[in-house]
Amino acid sequence: MAKAIPQETGQLPRGGVAIADYLVVGAGAAGLATALCLGKRGSVILMSKGSPRASASYRAQGGIAYPLPEELNEHAEDTRRTGSALVDEEVLRTYLSRAGDAFAFLEDLGVPFERHPDGSLVRVREGGYTHARIARTADHIGRSLTTAMIHALAHAPSVRILPYARLLRILVHEGNAVGGIFSRRGTPFVVLARMTFLATGGFAGLFARSTHAAHALGEGTFLAWEAGAVLRDLEFVQFHPTALARGRLPLPLLTEALRGSGARIVDAAGVPLLERIHPLGDLAPRDVVARTLYEEGMRGRSAFLDLRPVANLRQRFPTVWRILRRAGFDPERPVPVTPAAHYTIGGILASAEGRTTLPRLFALGEAASTGFHGANRLASNSLLEIFVQSLLACEDATRTEAPLPNEVAAHHARKALDRVPRGLPDVPKSALLRRVRELLWRRAGIVRDGTELRAALDELSRLRQRLVARASPEAVPFLPDAAVLGTATLFVRSALAREESRGVHARRDFPGMEVRPRHTLLLPPKRPDSRDRETFYGFPSPEEGELLRVNAKGIPDGFPSPPTPLP
């Protein structure tokens, strides 16, 4: 049995190096589900930056998309329409064909889905849906899913968990991902594995208005790119239209299921805002609703969510009721709402199973760009993607021959570990993070233009230069500030390159949509020896790496081929 970190004590590995069959980074729904599945096939080390109860998955309210077999075509059409011609058809068909397996996995865990007296599922409708196809557990689906998986992991002896450990670097040996370097309370250590699974989430926490906690800063995205993985469509960040307008982050989410149950978005006089904007009215896709509320705000006008049409609000949406009461709002009166960054659609280019362009590195959940969502995510499709992709990744990994890292790889890992300074901070400096958040919200938020995006790049470059000048050269590559600046810069580069308005990406200077849908690819930075990136050559600038615009389904000449063809 491979040596691993003790599950209950959270002790660091002796000698600074641990080995397992599989390394999973991230303890949201994607990481927990993948660790559970892989734990039946080998030893697993599950690393997380925070508690699973602090993840974005835990706070999910609405539900999980669950189309019945006779509804698959309709659900596919809703997904396509919302995704603005960038949905990958093969991935879409694969995920929908395995929806029943994902739901069976959750029911086996004991997730308490709501049911009618006759035993049939209660399903609700959200924005972008033609009919109700979303299974729910009141309005706390995330808590229900996470709690069930944590309970199952407590009875999975092959899975070892170490929380509050930050990923510093993905290790690569002979062209393969072989694990990572981590830091916990200033002490660095290494985990080596046959395969590495990144479930590190997105970067919606990099905006001043966000429904995410401080954990969602996109470090995993930047580190995957630095290690050699291709990124895709980072410009596609979804803004949820109805976050509760209050000062503190994260902004509480007021689930879209409220509008599916009759709630209306109104102005200060109580006049509905969306009836003349979109045929679906209050159930228009999120990008339409978010831009409408953004434009209202730009005119100095506030928007409100009128919950009075929702029958039995307190019983059906207890989480929302508690949120409003604790924040001092009366649910019997319209409450102020604002759009807020909520979900990263783009990410690490990955196949349906999560394979990236870096062999033996998988990207799962919000960290991945599989093409399932296209340019705009259909509500509640993300949880469906997570559980289908986790099952597929597990099946794929166990079919693939991948030896444990050998002594040479372990030797390189120890040399790399020796170069990591002790006492590194676990979180970025609050002043820098605040500046990045305000900058992205102001210059690269819901509606963008080239002048503002170029100004954002200039400011991010100045912040990076200041960081490099003030910190020691040995520490810079491992500082959380560096990864935050790196992810923010890659995102703005992608937004500047897409000179059109499509899905969640809106440009004032390019309001039209290109006839031929294209992806934005960010190729990784070149290194003197691309096969041994665990030997550090300095902090890569996020301005490095070629940026390509390619036709949907197209692969440009010279694009590094993954171990198996991407769909």
Catalytic annotation, residues: 286
Element (H, E) at 551: strand 547-551
Give 307's contacts (C-beta < 8 A, 6+ positions apart): 258, 263, 313, 320, 331, 332, 334, 335
Element (H, E) at 336: strand 335-344
CA pair distance 118, 116, nearest whole angstrom: 5
Apex CA 502: angle with CA 497 and CA 505, to 5°?
60
SS (H, E, C) 223-281: HHHHHCCCEECCCCEEEEEEEECCCCCCCCECCCHHHHCCCEEECCCCCECCCCCCCCH
CA end-to-end span of the chain: 35
Token pair for 233: 């469509």
Q: What DSSP designation does 508 have?
A: S
Residue 296's nearest CA partner among 447, 506, 453 is: 447
Apex CA 384: angle with CA 379 and CA 389, to 5°?
135
Tally the C-alpha atoms within 13 A of residue 97's C-alpha that lie toward its C-beta.
Answer: 8
Give 298's contacts (C-beta < 8 A, 6+ positions apart): none
CA pair distance 515, 98, nearest whole angstrom: 32
Residue 58's nearest CA partner among 254, 212, 202, 236 is: 212
Token pair for 105: 């996995």
CA pair distance 505, 491, nearest whole angstrom: 12
Give the pairing type, strands 134-135 and 64-65: antiparallel
Q: Which residue is listed with tokens 């605040």? A: 434
User: In residues, how long is the chain?
Assistant: 567
Instruction: Report CA Rg, the chain.
Output: 22
Alpha helical stretches, state H, 6-126: 29-38, 72-82, 89-97, 99-109
In a 3-state reduction of DSSP, which class is residue 406?
Answer: coil
CA pair distance 298, 295, nearest whole angstrom: 5
CA pair distance 198, 183, nearest whole angstrom: 16
Phi then psi dihedrals of residue 46, to 5 deg:
-110, 115
Answer yes or no: are the C-beta atoms of 305 and 335 closer than 8 Å: yes
CA pair distance 136, 515, nearest whole angstrom: 38
Answer yes or no: are the C-beta atoms of 158 and 2 closer than 8 Å: no
| CB-CB neighbours of 315 under 10 Å | 9
CA pair distance 486, 225, nearest whole angstrom: 10
